[in-house]
């Protein structure tokens, strides 16, 4: 891809409705997308290439990290990105090559030292920010610097900066109340992991002292240790000047990981599309991330998920007015309301360009299953977009 990519004036939009893939509640019924009243998407589908994409592997439900890496054209089995890394990038932390990141939850310890609330009563964001400031001021480690950045409410991110760190570490969060926090342990025998575990445990110890009288936020739980995987950027691979419009930190983090510029999103779905319009002339690739489809699926709310699709549908004419040369509308994975969780099912995929072979009259999982792209790995999406935008040289004589 690197050898074939060429810089041109054409523009690509990758519109991701998080968790778009769905299932009928009764097998004979319709999926969320099929049930949605989405005339603009349907009429676009009738002029588009359709297919069902598979994010990671047969039967495997991907997390948001691997699912987006696949969407961006990176092999999600080869490139593993710790949740801490996504968190750090998501809050805008400039993660260096040797930095070790972890997610922090402020939490509550009872008098016996057991966790009574893994979210510290969902402390408000204002309070969370103050706690973070407090930690940054008072925690000092011997062998590394530590930077804590607040995310939202009870959530923050810690980044350890020093020589010879490793991400081969276990979490302190036991994922259940009524248990004591776990010590961080190395998962391999390397001296780097030993050192990093000691560092993380020293951090927790000091944080506990600093937070001792801040009940309910009197401790921190650490999880998702990870280091920057140093992925080659969109610029390097595709010669694209890519921008991202996403309202949730993790997706911003994923976009930054591959070198996309983060655009300040507006309010809600309409606001994201407004941002797209305002920045249309400044980039040649736009990743637009819509979260509420996934949230509705996770809540098991079939109707709400369909309504989010309808809300996006209303934005389609404006999007098409911008004149993208290649436009993909898809999800990162399936989140069927029926399952109330991410799933392994095929993800509906629509690609609009002047060079398509339409096969159906509507946008839906079954229409996509019979499409000209068939069932295909999500990792191929970027190649398809680059081809349809005429941004790839011919391969071989």
**What residues make contact with a second copy under the rule CB under 8 A?**
4, 23-24, 27-28, 31, 46-48, 51-52, 56-67, 76, 80-83, 86, 224, 336, 338-339, 341-346, 354-359, 365-366, 369-376, 380-388, 392, 394-397
Q: Phi-psi bin for 347: left (phi > 0), alpha (psi -120 to 50), beta?
A: beta
Q: How far is the CB of 341 from a second copy (least distance, A)?
A: 8
Integer Cα distance of 245 and 286 in angstroms: 7
> Which residue's CB is nearer to a second copy, number 150 or number 345?
345
- Residue number, 263 or 334, with CB nearest to a second copy: 334
- Give the closest residue to 91 by CA, choosing from 80, 81, 102: 102
Q: How far is CA 261 from CA 211, 283, 288, 292, in A?
A: 36, 9, 12, 22
| Min dist. Cβ of residue 157 to a second copy (A) | 13
The position carrying tokens 């054409």 is: 10
Q: Which residues pair with 53 in a beta bridge?
A: 347, 376
287 with 263: CB under 8 angstroms? no
State the nearest-atom distance from the C-beta of 143 to a second copy, in Å.
27
CB within 8 Å of 304: residues ≥ 6 apart:
292, 296
Q: Which two tokens stand for residue 382?
A: 């970027």
Closer to a second copy by Cβ: residue 22 or 181: 22
Closest to a second copy by CB, 129 vs 231, is 231
Tokens of 37: 């009243």
| Least spacing, CB of residue 53 vs a second copy, in Å | 11
Compute the C-alpha angle 89/201/82, nearest 5°: 30
70 or 312, CB closer to a second copy? 70
Give the closest residue to 181 by CA, choosing from 81, 100, 122, 106. 106
Answer left, alpha or beta for residue 224, where phi above 0 means left and psi between -120 and 50 means alpha: left
- The smaller minimum CB distance to a second copy, of residues 283 and 342, is found at 342
- The closest of 169, 212, 165, 170 to 191, measured between CA atoms, is 165
3-state secondary structure 195-231: HHHHHHHHHHHHHHHHHCCCCCCCEEEEEEEEECCCC
State the minimum distance, in angstroms, from the CB of residue 86 to a second copy. Answer: 6
By beta-carbon proximity to a second copy, the closer residue of 163 and 397 is 397
Contact assessment for residue 76 and residue 61, using Cβ atoms and an 8 Å cutoff: no
CB of 393 to a second copy, least distance (A): 8
When the beta carbons of 40 and 275 are compared against a second copy, the nearer one is 40
């Amino acid at each position: 891809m690197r050898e074939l990519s060429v810089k041109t004036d054409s523009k690509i939009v990758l519109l991701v409705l998080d968790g778009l893939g769905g299932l009928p509640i009764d097998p004979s019924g319709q999926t969320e997308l099929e049930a949605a009243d989405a005339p603009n998407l349907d009429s676009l589908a009738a002029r588009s290439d359709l297919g069902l994409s598979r994010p990671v592997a047969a039967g495997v439900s991907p997390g948001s990290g691997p699912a987006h890496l696949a969407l961006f054209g990176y092999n999600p089995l080869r490139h593993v990105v710790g949740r801490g890394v996504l968190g750090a990038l998501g809050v805008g932390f400039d993660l260096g090559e040797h930095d070790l990141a972890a997610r922090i939850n402020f939490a509550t310890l009872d008098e016996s030292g057991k966790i009574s609330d893994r979210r510290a009563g969902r402390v408000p964001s204002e309070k969370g920010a103050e706690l973070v400031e407090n930690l940054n001021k008072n925690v000092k480690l011997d062998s590394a610097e530590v930077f804590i950045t607040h995310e939202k409410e009870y959530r923050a991110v810690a980044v350890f900066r020093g020589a010879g760190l490793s991400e081969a570490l276990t979490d302190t969060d036991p994922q259940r109340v009524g248990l004591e926090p776990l010590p961080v342990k190395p998962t391999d025998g390397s001296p780097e992991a030993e050192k990093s575990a000691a560092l993380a445990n020293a951090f927790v110890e000091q944080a506990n002292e600093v937070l001792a009288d801040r009940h309910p936020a009197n401790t921190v739980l650490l999880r998702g240790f990870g280091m920057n995987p140093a992925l080659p950027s969109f610029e390097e691979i595709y010669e694209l000047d890519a921008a991202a419009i996403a309202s949730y930190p993790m997706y911003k983090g994923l976009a930054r990981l591959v070198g996309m510029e983060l655009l300040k999103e507006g309010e809600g779905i309409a606001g994201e599309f407004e941002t797209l319009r305002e920045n249309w002339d400044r980039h040649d690739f736009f990743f637009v991330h819509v979260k509420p489809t996934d949230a509705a699926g996770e809540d098991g709310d079939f109707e709400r998920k369909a309504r989010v699709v309808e809300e996006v549908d209303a934005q389609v004419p404006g999007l098409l007015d911008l004149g993208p040369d290649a436009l993909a509308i898809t999800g990162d994975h399936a989140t069927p309301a029926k399952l109330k969780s991410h799933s392994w099912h095929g993800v509906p995929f629509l690609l609009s360009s002047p060079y398509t072979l339409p096969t159906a009259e509507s946008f839906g999982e079954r229409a996509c299953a019979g499409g000209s792209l068939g069932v295909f790995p999500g990792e191929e999406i970027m190649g398809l977009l680059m081809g349809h935008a005429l941004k790839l040289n011919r391969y071989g004589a």
